[in-house]
Amino acid sequence: MIGDVRSYVLRHFPERQIYLRSGGEVKYYVLSTRLQLGVVSGLTVMALWCLFTMINLVVGQNPLRTSSQQMNLDKANFERLLADSKAKEENTRLMLAEQRTNFESLARQIEEKHQTLAQMMGNTSVSMPANGTSTIKYAEDRVLMSPTARDTTPRQSRRKIVKTASLSTGLGLDLDNSLNTLGETQDAFLISAEQETLDGIERNRALIQSADMDVETVLSESSFGKGGPYIPLENLVTDASGFVSRVSAIQARSAEAEALNAAVGALPVGHPVGGETYRTSTFGLRQDPFTKRPTMHHGLDFGGQRNTPIVATAAGTVIRAGRNGAYGKFIEIDHGYGFKTRYAHMHKTFVKRGQTVEKGTKIGGMGTTGRSTATHLHYEVHFQGRAYDPNKFLKAGLYVQ
* pLDDT at residue 49 is higher than 80: yes
Give phi and psi for 224, each to the nearest 5: -70, 130
C-alpha to C-alpha distances, 225 to 228, 255, 340, 396, nearest whole angstrom: 11, 9, 23, 28
Burial state string for 309-335 with b = 16 or more CB within 10 A and e = fewer than 16: bbbbbbbbebeebeebeebbbbbbbbb
Give the pLDDT confidence score for residue 64 in this predicted structure.
56
Give the pLDDT confidence score for residue 101 in this predicted structure.
86
| More reliable by pLDDT, 254 or 87 | 87
Which class for 250: exposed (0-12), middle (13-18), buried (19 or more C-beta within 10 A)? buried
Give the pLDDT confidence score for residue 350 in this predicted structure.
94
Q: Which of 135-144, 270-279, 380-389 has the lowest mean pLDDT?
A: 135-144
| More reliable by pLDDT, 60 or 184 | 184
Q: What's the pLDDT tens digit per position in 196-206? A: 778 888 888 88
Q: Which of 90-104, 263-277, 287-301 has the lowest mean pLDDT?
A: 287-301
Q: Which of 79-83, 123-127, 225-229, 288-292 has the lowest mean pLDDT?
A: 123-127
**CA 199 to CA 204: how far, in whole Å?**
9
Query: Which amino acid, one-letter code, is at 135?
Result: T
Region 334-338 average pLDDT: 91
Domain with CATH 2.70.70.10 in the chain: 278-399
* pLDDT at residue 317 is higher than 90: yes
**CA 215 to CA 207: how far, in whole Å?**
9
pTM of the predicted model, to two decimals?
A: 0.54
- pLDDT grade for 125, boundaries at 50, 70 and 90: very low
* pLDDT at residue 144 is higher than 60: no
368 Cβ contact list (under 8 Å, min separation 6): 306, 328, 345, 347, 374, 375, 376
Mind giving me the DSSP string for 123-156? Answer: H---B--TTS--B-EETTEEB-SPPPPS--SPPP
Considering only the top CATH level, what class is 278-399?
mainly beta
CB 16 within 8 A of CB 22: no
Region 233-251 average pLDDT: 60
